[in-house]
Structure 1
Amino acid sequence: MKKQFLEAGRIVGTHGVRGEMRVEPWCDSADFLKKVKTLYFDGGKTDAGLLSSRVHKSLLLVRLKGVESATQADLYRGKILYLDRNDVRLPKNRYFVEDLIGLHVIDDATGAEYGTVQDVFETGANNVYRIVNGVGEEFLFPAVDAMIAKTDIESGKLFVKPIPGIFGDGAETVPVSAGEAADAD
């Protein structure tokens, strides 16, 4: 079941003397998070009272209701901010990381199941899914359009088009002669 409130970022410190706080965004960017008009504390139970937000370098600077000084703002350091998924529109074929975690990874051509998505890493060029199978083997799968057939969050399935060897099947090894092995040392 999809969570209604998702972790948006963490307050990492203060900015200036008037109560502004620096937020480390846990989403695509501070620009993305700036578009959210309401943020929450306590897993979505409490409205954080967002008065304003602006981007500063890679961080989001926020002002919250009732916070007027750096001393007051510092009390919020380490707190997690949440967003309501209904307040955000994602582009086509973009998903919240929390929705990807736990998806069953299935070969689109053969129907073979490779495991479940355990984590998503950002690499700069593309995301990489860490997939773990039933015996604990881990595989890193590049999340590129050419290798993903369909993402079905509702059914909990990720259909993939893997290249040979990515899941350890069909990987070829080249034997090394004794002389070559000695040279490698």
Structure 2
Amino acid sequence: MDTVIARLGKPHGIKGEFTVEVRTDRPEDRLTPGTSFATDPDIGALTLKSARWHRDRLLLAFDEVPDRNRAEEIRNTLILAEQDEEDEDPDAWYLDDLIGLKVYEDDVLVGEIVDVTNGVAQDLLHMKHTLGHEVLIPFVTEIVPEVDIEAGRLEVTPPAGLFDAE
């Protein structure tokens, strides 16, 4: 089974490099030059030419992307890799598994996870509140003590004011 490990962002420079949204907790192991990746949408395999950090952003270049024009064409493509059996941790979830989960506070439905931002310190869950506004929830045990992928839900204990509309 393939899993999303990165999303290609905006091009960087004129030589076909991308900024990327990293969706793996081990980019140094998963994103190594010479590795070929499947893509979604399927634009054919991409072979990683280089990976380097620029400030706090990871930049990737692929053999099949010679310039900025091609990089613009395939922006937002998802980079896929095979799921490692040894990586399976019962207390870990793939970011894509969290999207669509119903969010409950004291068994009352308060929203649904619509996106996840992979952060340096922690991930942020983007929740569409039942009242219509979006809420960013830090994905930490103190605020999200329970995640049940099979039941399609997560329980939250938000600090005061977190769910207030701006």
Give the TM-score band, short-chain normalised: 0.5 to 0.7
TM-score by length of 2: 0.66
SS in 2 for 1:99: helix
TM-score by length of 1: 0.60
The equivalent of 2:68 in structure 1 is: 74
The equivalent of 2:123 in structure 1 is: 127
Say which one has the larger Rg: 1
Distance 1:52 1:162 in 2: 43
Distance 1:45 1:33 in 2: 24
Does residue 52 (structure 1) correspond to residue 41 (structure 2)? The answer is no
Distance 2:10 2:25 in 1: 13
Cα deviation for residue 122 of structure 1 reads 5.9
CA RMSD of aligned residues (A): 3.6
Runs of at least 5 residues in structure 1 that lack an aligned partner in the other structure: 169-185
Shift in CA distance, 90/56, structure 1 to aligned 2, threshold 3 Å:
farther
Percent identity of equivalent pairs: 20
Task: Provide, for residues 16-72 of structure 1, a one-character-per-residue CA deviation record: whole Å limited to 9, x for no partner.
Answer: xxxx63121111589717624322345135212x0533314233332415x6xxxx4
SS in 2 for 1:162: coil
The equivalent of 1:9 in structure 2 is: 8
Aligned residues of 2:39 and 2:80 also touching (Cα < 8 A): no
Cα deviation for residue 98 of structure 1 reads 3.1
Q: Give the alignment of 1:1-185 within 5 angstroms.
A: 4=2, 6=4, 8-10=7-9, 12-13=11-12, 21-27=16-22, 32=27, 35-36=30-31, 37-41=35-39, 43-44=41-42, 46-48=44-46, 50=47, 52-57=49-54, 58-65=57-64, 72-78=66-72, 79-80=74-75, 81-87=77-83, 89=87, 93-107=91-105, 110-121=106-117, 125-167=121-163
Distance 2:67 2:158 in 1: 48
Cα deviation for residue 4 of structure 1 reads 4.8
Aligned residues of 1:115 and 1:134 also touching (Cα < 8 A): yes
Cα deviation for residue 116 of structure 1 reads 0.7
Aligned residues of 1:130 and 1:141 also touching (Cα < 8 A): yes
Give the aligned residue type for 1:22. Answer: E
After the TM superposition, list the runs of 4 or more consecutive aligned residues in structure 1 that deviate by more than 6 angstroms. none
Give the aligned residue type for 1:106. Answer: Y
Aligned residues of 2:100 and 2:152 also touching (Cα < 8 A): yes
Runs of at least 5 residues in structure 2 that lack an aligned partner in the other structure: none
Distance 1:149 1:56 in 2: 33
Cα deviation for residue 104 of structure 1 reads 0.3
